[in-house]
Amino acid sequence: MGAPYVSIRRLADNSLAAMLSAVEIYNKPQMTYRDEVTVMLVVNAWELALKATLRQEDLSIFYRKQRGEKYRSIGLDDALGRVAANKLWPSGIDGRAVTANVKALAEYRDRAIHLYNAQGLGAAIYPFLQQNVLNYRDFMLARFKKDLADSMTWQLLPLGATAPADAVQFMRIDKNATMVAEVQQFIDELRRLMDEAEESGSDMARVATVYDINMQSVKTMTSADLIVAVSPTADGQVVVRKTDPNQTHPYNMTELLNKVNEKRNGRKLTTYDYQAICWKELLRENTKYAWKHSNGVSHVWSGDAITYLASLSDEHYEQVRADYEAHRRGQSAKK
């Protein structure tokens, strides 16, 4: 007997229903277990969407059947792996970054039972959760022509009795040493996922984003945003704080070029390409990509810079080089 028939349309529709339910629950004014239920539904929405994607390409969503056992559908990690292996991430969506985002939420879901009284931990997961909804909308629109925005408003403004989380967030947890260790392990896992994404030059804006009160994206997060101090004696306090640009922009010019060349499909870029693109697009003035200490000699670069430079075509670089050469000839003529 072959594997059971699975409807692509039902998978996609159920996925959308799960995501809409997650958003509705999160925005309820009174809701206990809010973060946990929301994340469970969001992760479920992605698992169904990924399985629908595999079925759309006539690929199996089941494990190999064992004698005497029923067919078992694949889990989230395997679904992510199969979508990546078959290059099914839509163009314009960094699959590695989205995977890091989804796995961060899956980690929270898996640990939820141990973190049930870690009040305020939602402040750490919220940037991942908010970005996840945006990633999901782009993914479903690209793969299935289904727009999440058709079923909800994007004008929602979170209102509350306290101000939203700032760059420094204090979270009160149970003083129990086991609970402190659980929270520390959870934050460590978030940092590991973000480090892997950043190391591969992924688009960190797809991993987590911090929003201001107007819900406008103000910055992207890297693992450096998740520096944690856990003190089992200091009233059970966990601190998540933003660190300095030395950690958010760790790459010098040589490291930047090496990582860009590893990621892009075109010709190998040179230091001349680097000089030309920095001049043409004023990259050194863009703090998203570059940073230089006031007493420093050269700039250092972020993972976002790697993603951006790797996305540009050879034709774009050739035009930039031509413009840069013309500029230099003009400067020489003036002298």
Q: Are residues 99 and 231 in the same domain?
A: yes
User: Which of 212, 243, 274 is the last residue before a domain boundary?
Assistant: 243
Q: How many domains does the chain have?
A: 2
Q: In Å, what is the CA distance from 236 to each residue of 119, 169, 173, 188?
A: 11, 14, 5, 17
Q: Are residues 116 and 212 in the same domain?
A: yes
Identify the H or E element spanning 228.
strand 227-231
Q: Are residues 205 and 292 in the same domain?
A: no
Q: Does residue 1 sit within a domain? A: no
User: Which of 191, 217, 243 is the last residue before a domain boundary?
Assistant: 243
Q: Are residues 97 and 184 in the same domain?
A: yes
Q: How far apart are CA 235 and CA 124, in angstroms?
A: 19
Nearest one of 245, 262, 260 to 300, comparing CA atoms: 245
Q: Are residues 103 and 12 in the same domain?
A: yes
Q: Are residues 191 and 59 in the same domain?
A: yes
Evaluate whether 265 touches 314 at the Cβ level (below 8 Å).
Answer: no
What residue numbers bound the domain in which 268 lies?
Answer: 248-334
Q: What is the residue-level pLDDT of the chain in tens, covering all 335 positions?
A: 577 788 999 999 999 999 999 989 988 878 888 888 999 999 999 999 999 999 999 999 998 877 777 888 999 999 999 999 999 998 878 899 999 999 999 988 887 766 655 555 666 788 888 889 889 999 999 999 998 888 876 555 454 444 444 433 434 444 455 555 666 677 777 778 887 887 777 777 677 765 443 344 555 656 555 544 444 444 444 444 444 566 678 889 999 999 899 888 889 999 999 999 999 999 999 888 888 877 777 899 987 788 889 889 999 999 999 999 999 988 888 76
- Residues for the chain: how many in total? 335
pTM of the predicted protein model = 0.63
User: Which of 192, 211, 243 is the last residue before a domain boundary?
Assistant: 243
Q: How far apart are CA 161 and CA 146, in angstroms?
A: 35
Q: Does residue 2 sit within a domain? A: no
